[in-house]
Amino acid sequence: MKPLSYWLDSAPAFRCAETGGLPARCETAVIGGGFTGLSAALAMAREGIDVVVLEAGRVAGAASGRNGGHCNNGLVRQVAAVADTFGLERARAFYHTFDQAVETVERVIAREGIACDFRRSGKIQLAAKPSHFGSLSRTHALLASGIDTQTSLVCPGDLSREIGSTRFHGGLVYHRSAMLHPGRLGSGLAQAAHRHGARIWEDTEVTRWRRSGRGGHELETAMGMLEAEKVLVATGAGTGPAFPHLHRRILAVGSFIIATEPLAQHLVDAIMPTRRTAVTTKHIGHYFRMAPDNRLIFGGRARFARSDPGSDMKSGRLLARSLKQIFPILGDVRIDYCWGGMLDMTMDRLPRAGVVDGCHHAMGYSGHGVQMSVHMGEVMAKVMAGDVEANPWRDLPWPALPGHATRAALLPLAGAWFRLRDLVS
């Protein structure tokens, strides 16, 4: 198994990053060159704003280029649970924000001519236990009452039309959902932002931030100092101590993925006849889909651990075992790629966006970041131009995480807790 993201390995490199020193100042600095930062920079540059993007590594090289390539609508949590907390009308509004996010991705790709294999495939949520089908049925009834009429319930006896596995017990299809090639989307967004006038620096980590005497912001990097009138922090799970308020509120959790060799057509037809994105109902479940070259992209939180080369390979071996349990027909198939990435989680698994200490931010997508990050990049460009009401998450409370300093050490305990919940549910 190559310890590489298949998406990054099969995408064209962005070759227009700046190579000289930073300018003394700019109108807006975007910290983070993932989908949120690139989308925001693109939207700002199209409006003629002088925008600089500061990326610690390569553009779209972290979570944006290391996910499953799903572009799904629907909330991370069951809509009924969100309604219990926030009320039905607000849960409905949150749900439709994810619909809008998929539409934003589709629109930006078409407008900028980004070749990233976007397709409205639909998503199927697969019941991992017989009891889980009852929960999916109740969710479908609530959605069909007016929240999302473009969903359909698949009874256990009909599931073979959707997936070639006997491990599941029915499913719920979200027909608005899509898939894409995230590596190509990342390089395409960066190229489009550059074409419209954004300046992008790679390998330029912001190590310190402070307010300047002129009411703006001073950013310290290895490439020198930059003064900006406005700042957008779009660093997700990579948010560090330079922004302590945000750092104390994001939980970084590893998610791991493998990619098979390209499969013969008869195998593709047998295991994924409808070519949808698929997710399972367990807390520690799996997500999978076919890639454009007929590889099966198969992921999950195989281990509650941080992503690093050793951890990724351990998780990859566990995922390979699970893949062949779900699809025994793939027992002899080679695994070509194995990688991990860090999700930026919030306690309630809803995004957060707003302004703290004069710095704007958008993050906390909790595993649904492909669509929401692109959408929130555009939204935050509007917010920073004065349209505060454009932000759908603007007044959500966001308390600091308990035990922040020791949270990495507690990840295995969190994994044990979720495994117990999967066992008894």
pTM: 0.95
pLDDT tens over the chain, length 425 residues: 899 999 999 999 999 999 999 999 999 999 999 999 999 999 999 999 999 999 999 999 999 999 999 999 999 999 999 999 999 999 999 999 999 999 999 999 999 999 999 999 999 999 999 999 999 999 999 999 999 999 999 999 999 999 999 999 999 999 999 999 999 999 999 999 999 999 999 999 999 999 988 889 999 998 999 999 999 999 999 999 999 999 999 988 889 999 999 999 999 999 999 999 999 998 779 999 999 999 999 999 745 566 777 788 889 999 999 999 999 999 999 999 999 999 999 999 999 999 999 999 999 999 999 999 999 999 999 999 999 999 999 999 999 988 665 555 555 655 555 555 556 66
Judge whether 275 and 286 are in contact, CB under 8 Å.
no
251 forms bridges with which residues in the sheet?
345
| Cα–Cα separations (whole angstroms), residue 17 to 65, 218, 366 | 17, 22, 29
Tokens 């932000």, located at residue: 391
Tokens 């991992």, located at residue: 128
**Cα dihedral angle (188, 194, 197, 198), rounded to 10 degrees?**
100
Judge whether 83 and 91 are in contact, CB under 8 Å.
yes
Rounded to whole angstroms, how far apart are CA atoms 72 and 80?
18
Q: Give the model's pLDDT for residue 311.
A: 80
**Cα dihedral angle (290, 338, 54, 52), rounded to 10 degrees?**
-20
User: Who contacts 104 (Cβ-Cβ below 8 Å, separation ≥6)?
Assistant: 371, 374, 375, 378
Could you give phi then psi for residue 288, rounded to 5 degrees? -160, 165
Rounded to whole angstroms, how far apart are CA atoms 6 and 256?
12
Tokens 């019941």, located at residue: 127
Nearest to 200 by CA among 369, 16, 353: 16
Rounded to whole angstroms, how far apart are CA atoms 289 and 296?
6
Could you give phi then psi for residue 37, rounded to 5 degrees? -65, -40
Extract the tokens encoding 134: 């009852």
Q: Give the model's pLDDT for residue 17.
A: 97
179 forms bridges with which residues in the sheet?
70, 119
Please count the other Cβ atoms lying within 10 Å of the Cβ belonging to residue 399.
8
> Angle formed by the axes of helices 369-384 and 182-195, to 10°?
20
User: At residue 175, what is the residue type?
Assistant: H
Q: Give the model's pLDDT for residue 184.
A: 98
Judge whether 199 and 14 are in contact, CB under 8 Å.
no
Tokens 């499953």, located at residue: 68
Judge whether 176 and 150 are in contact, CB under 8 Å.
yes
Extract the tokens encoding 148: 């999302």
Judge whether 114 and 194 are in contact, CB under 8 Å.
no
Q: Give the model's pLDDT for residue 253.
A: 87
Rounded to whole angstroms, how far apart are CA atoms 38 and 194?
9
Judge whether 258 and 324 are in contact, CB under 8 Å.
no
Rounded to whole angstroms, how far apart are CA atoms 68 and 13?
19
User: Who contacts 318 (Cβ-Cβ below 8 Å, separation ≥6)?
Assistant: 302, 303
Extract the tokens encoding 296: 């099966």
